């Protein structure tokens, strides 16, 4: 498989590669000096946590109050 780098330093991944990572939007890019290594990043659960907080009726003020309460000196 070939991938060509554009003048804007972009590379399109071949369909066969993308097909194996259908749930992946971001890749960690690194190099070992000779090779470019792409590792799929796992989906963050942050959005799930935010949705659950909304479901429970917990807002930013509640979190701030809880942090303040936890930091109080006894």
Going from N- to C-terminal start, the domains of the chain cover: 1-42, 44-74
Helix (H) or strand (E) holding 64, with range, is helix 60-71
Compute the half-sphere exposure of residue 7: CA atoms within 13 Å on the CB side of its CA.
0
Task: Provide the pLDDT for residue 1.
Answer: 87
Task: Provide the pLDDT for residue 11.
Answer: 93
pLDDT per residue of the chain (74 residues) written in tens, 0 to 9: 899 999 999 999 999 999 999 888 889 999 999 999 999 987 778 888 889 999 999 999 999 999 999 999 76
Task: Provide the pLDDT for residue 45.
Answer: 82
Structure-token pair, residue 7: 């003048």
Task: Provide the pLDDT for residue 59.
Answer: 93
Q: 12 Cβ partners below 8 Å, 6+ apart?
A: 3, 4
Q: 31 Cβ partners below 8 Å, 6+ apart?
A: 37
């Amino acid at each position: 498989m070939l991938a060509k780098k554009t003048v804007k330093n972009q590379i399109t991944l071949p369909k066969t590669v993308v097909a194996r990572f259908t749930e992946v939007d971001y890749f960690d890019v690194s190099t070992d000096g000779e090779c470019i290594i792409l590792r799929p990043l796992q989906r963050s659960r942050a959005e799930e946590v935010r949705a659950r907080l909304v479901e429970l009726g917990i807002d930013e003020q509640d979190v701030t109050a809880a942090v303040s309460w936890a930091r109080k000196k006894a």
